[in-house]
């Protein structure tokens, strides 16, 4: 983030780079867990699907809440003003 923000702003392209780096990091860890499970002759637990589903629901809820805040900001009234 420091290297991408040297010009004084983080734009859409910088955000895509950061998200891509985060996804690569997560995929690296998932690969490492799967590799160690194969070495220990273990299978994946069924709760992993539950966790992924909850993660998706939470991500969608966060998306909706951020969209709601942009509507409040666009109204230029604020939340606590009448």
pLDDT tens for 8-61 read 888 888 888 999 999 999 999 989 988 888 888 887 778 888 998 999 999 999
Residue of 50 and 73 predicted with greater confidence: 50
Question: Quick one: how far is CA 82 from the chain centroid?
Answer: 35
Contacts of 5 (CB under 8 A, 6+ apart): 14
How much is the pTM?
Answer: 0.52
Instruction: Output the pLDDT for position 69.
Output: 67
pLDDT at 25: 94
**Which of 23, 42, 22 shows the shortest CA–CA distance to 34?**
42
Determine the pLDDT at residue 3. Answer: 83
Q: How high is the pLDDT of residue 57?
A: 96
């Amino acid at each position: 983030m420091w290297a991408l923000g040297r010009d004084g702003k983080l734009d859409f392209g910088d955000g895509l780079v950061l998200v891509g780096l985060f996804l690569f990091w997560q995929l690296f860890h998932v690969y490492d867990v799967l590799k160690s499970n194969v070495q220990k002759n273990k299978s994946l637990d069924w709760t992993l699907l539950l966790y992924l589903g909850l993660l998706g629901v939470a991500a969608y809820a966060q998306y909706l809440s951020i969209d709601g805040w942009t509507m409040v900001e666009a109204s230029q009234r604020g939340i606590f003003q009448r």
